[in-house]
């Protein structure tokens, strides 16, 4: 029985998936275009037909990450708790961040390799995917400062601090060999949020 040939769109998706797996396992500098093509089951000319440059491939990977992240950050910020309950709000944010790390360990490894290698992927990812999230959270903190609920401080620095703490725990639990030993989020999130809020509340 003849094997059905992949459509151009299916082949493109296969290349993106192969690139994510290769980069997540070996880093960006540790993968050649030849190895990438072999992993995707295509020739190098076919690889270049779909992605003329590495930046084109990086952008495609980031677009896939954005689509796959909708399960964690769908309709941000419209699906977040309404009202002035800061504890509920920041708990929802932290839960979404941890959910993303649990669902996407390969993406976490991509960003780790990018940081370690000084690779441009991380910068592209932040510009295309993370910057809007950071700005939205900083905007919420700014509104709570104006309402008198949070003491005067730099909203972006507070945002970076909060996301950094939650991400550190998420990274540890998603790529550590001892991930099974991580405390359940039901125990961790209240403590994270409590420490953060006690530091910023008016």
pLDDT digits (tens, 9 = 90+) for 39-91: 999 999 999 999 998 889 998 998 888 887 765 565 555 555 556 789 999 99
Residue 47's pLDDT is what? 93
Lowest mean pLDDT, pick from 5-9, 126-130, 163-167: 5-9
- Find out whether 147 and 140 touch, Cβ atoms under 8 Å: no
- Could you tell me the two tokens for 169? 């725990």
- Find out whether 64 and 110 touch, Cβ atoms under 8 Å: no
Q: What are the residue ranges spanned by the domains of the chain?
A: 8-52, 66-200
Residue 35's pLDDT is what? 92
CATH class held by domain 66-200: mainly alpha
CA distances from residue 122 to 1, 25, 62, 64, 178 in whole angstroms, order as listed: 44, 16, 10, 15, 26
pTM: 0.79
Residue 180's pLDDT is what? 56
Query: CATH second-level architecture of 8-52?
Result: Orthogonal Bundle (1.10)
pLDDT (tens digit per residue) in 119-156: 888 888 888 778 888 998 999 999 999 999 999 999 99
Indicate the pLDDT class of residue 193, thresholds 50, 70 and 90: very high
Instruction: Say yes or no to pLDDT of 189 above 50.
Output: yes
Q: DSSP assignment of 90-130, as one string?
A: HHHHHHHHHHHHHH-HHHHHHHHHHHHHT-HHHHHHIIIII
Distance between CA atoms of residues 189 and 71, nearest Å: 19
CA torsion through residues 152, 156, 160, 166, sign: positive
- Find out whether 28 and 119 touch, Cβ atoms under 8 Å: yes
Residue 198's pLDDT is what? 94
Helix, strand or coil, per DSSP, at residue 182: coil
More confident call, 4 vs 6: 6
140's enclosing H/E stretch is: helix 131-146
Q: Is 68 exposed, middle or buried (0-12, 13-18, 19+ CB in 10 A)?
A: middle
Q: What angle do CA 110, 115, 121 make, to 5 degrees?
A: 55
Indicate the pLDDT class of residue 2, thresholds 50, 70 and 90: very low
- Percent of the chain, pLDDT > 90? 41
């Amino acid at each position: 029985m003849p094997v059905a040939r992949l459509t151009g769109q299916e082949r493109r998706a296969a290349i993106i998936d192969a690139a994510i797996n290769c980069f997540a396992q070996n880093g960006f500098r540790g993968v050649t275009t030849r190895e990438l093509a072999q992993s995707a089951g295509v020739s190098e000319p076919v690889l270049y037909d779909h992605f003329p440059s590495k930046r084109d491939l990086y952008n495609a990977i980031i677009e896939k990450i954005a689509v796959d992240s909708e399960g964690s950050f769908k309709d941000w910020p419209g699906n977040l708790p309404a009202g002035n309950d800061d504890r509920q709000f920041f708990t929802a944010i932290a839960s979404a961040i941890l959910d993303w790390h649990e669902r996407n360990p390969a993406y976490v490894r991509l960003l780790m390799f990018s940081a370690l290698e000084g690779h441009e992927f991380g910068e592209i990812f932040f510009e295309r995917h993370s910057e809007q999230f950071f700005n939205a959270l900083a905007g919420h903190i700014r509104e709570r400062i104006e309402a008198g609920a949070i003491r005067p401080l730099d909203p972006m620095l507070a945002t970076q601090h909060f996301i950094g703490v939650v991400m550190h725990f998420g990274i540890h639990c998603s790529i550590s060999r001892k991930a099974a030993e991580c405390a359940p989020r039901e125990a961790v999130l209240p403590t994270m949020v409590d420490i953060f809020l006690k530091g910023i509340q008016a």
